[in-house]
Structure 1
Amino acid sequence: MAHVEEYVEVNVPVRTAYNQWTQFESFPAFVEGVDRVEQRGDTLTHWVTKVNGVEREFDARITEQVPDRRVAWTTVDGDTRQAGLVTFEAVDATTTQVSLHMNWIPDGLAESAADKLGLVKRRVSGDLKRFKVFIESRGAETGAWRGEV
C-alpha cells in the first residue's frame, strides 16, 4: 500500500476552505487528471480521471465529514482502490492549514514506480497548491455542504 501526506496553508478562513472542499464537482479546476466528479448523494461521488492516458472511473463514499474539521473517504467501486482524509485547521482567523493524507494500492508496475519516484507526492502537492490559488483568487467558496457524516 502506498501513502502520501501533504499540506498547504491557504489565506482564507477555515469555513471558506472547508466549504469549497465539499464542492467535489469543482475538483477538475484544481486537481490534475480529474476530468469529472458527480455528486450522487450526500455521501457518494462518481469520479472520472485520466492520468498518463489511462482513464479510470470509480465511486467514492464519504465515510466521515465534520464541518470545518475533516472529510474522509474510501473508494467503493471501480478501477481505483484508495482511502483518504483531509483536515482543516485554523492557523489564525484568516489562514487555514489544509492537510491531505491518502492511502492507495498502486495498479501495476507503472503506478508502483511513480510512487517510488515521488511522482504521486509531487502531484498531490501540486493539487493542493492549485486549490490554494483557486480559493484565494475567488476569496469565497462556490458553495457549501454543511452536513455531518
Structure 2
Amino acid sequence: MPNPLKIEDSIEIAKSVDKVYAIYMDTDNIPKVVDGVVRVERLSDTRSRWSWERGGLSWTEEMELVSTKPNERAEWKTGGELFTCKAVTEFHEVDGDRTRVVHRNEYVPRVGGDIASLAGSTPLGPIVDEAKHVLKATLRKAKQYIEANGG
C-alpha cells in the first residue's frame, strides 16, 4: 500500500458557520476561495472540472463531491495520472459570528512506494513545502473573500 502525504491547516473566519459553509459549497465561488483555480465547470450535482494555473503551469482535473454534512463537513476526491487526492473541509462554530475552517489533503500515489517516488531524484521537501504553501494560501484567500462577501 502506498504511503500518503497528509497536510492539514486551519483558519478562523469572522462569519457564521452557515455563511462560510454556503460560500464554500457554491461551485461558482471556488475560484474565489481556492488559490490557483481560475475556472470551474459544473458537470453534475457532485462532479466538476477545475482549471488551475500555478507556477507557469496550467491543468484541469475533475473533482467529485463524495459526502457532505451541512454546516459541518465536506469531502472531495480527484484522481490524476500520478496520484489521487482526498480533501476534507470541516466547519467548526467558534461562536455565532466566527468559524474555524480545518482543511486536510491526503495525496496517494498511483505508483508503488510513497509520494517521494513521484519526485524522482528531486528531494521531497520542496514538494511538501509547495503543498503546504498552496493550502495556506487557499485558506487566506477564502478568509479574505468570505469576510468581505459573506453577508
Give the TM-score normalised by structure 2. 0.81
Identity of aligned pairs, percent? 22
Give the alignment partner of residue 120 of structure 1, picking from 100, 125, 131.
131
Partner of 1:86: 89
Q: CA RMSD in A?
A: 2.1
Q: 1:49–1:84: structure 2 CA closer, same or farther, 3 Å change rule?
A: same
Partner of 1:129: 140
- Segments of structure 2 that go 5 or more residues without pairing to the other structure are 110-114
Runs of 4+ in 1 over 3 A off after TM superposition: 76-80, 105-113
Is the 2:14–2:147 contact (alpha carbons within 8 Å) kept by the matching residues of 1?
Answer: yes
Is the 2:20–2:150 contact (alpha carbons within 8 Å) kept by the matching residues of 1?
Answer: no
- Segments of structure 1 that go 5 or more residues without pairing to the other structure are 141-149
Letter of the structure 1 residue corresponding to residue 143 of structure 2: K
How many residue pairs get aligned? The number is 139
Q: 1:40–1:111: structure 2 CA closer, same or farther, 3 Å change rule?
A: farther
Partner of 1:146: none
Is the 1:38–1:47 contact (alpha carbons within 8 Å) kept by the matching residues of 2?
Answer: yes
Partner of 2:20: 17
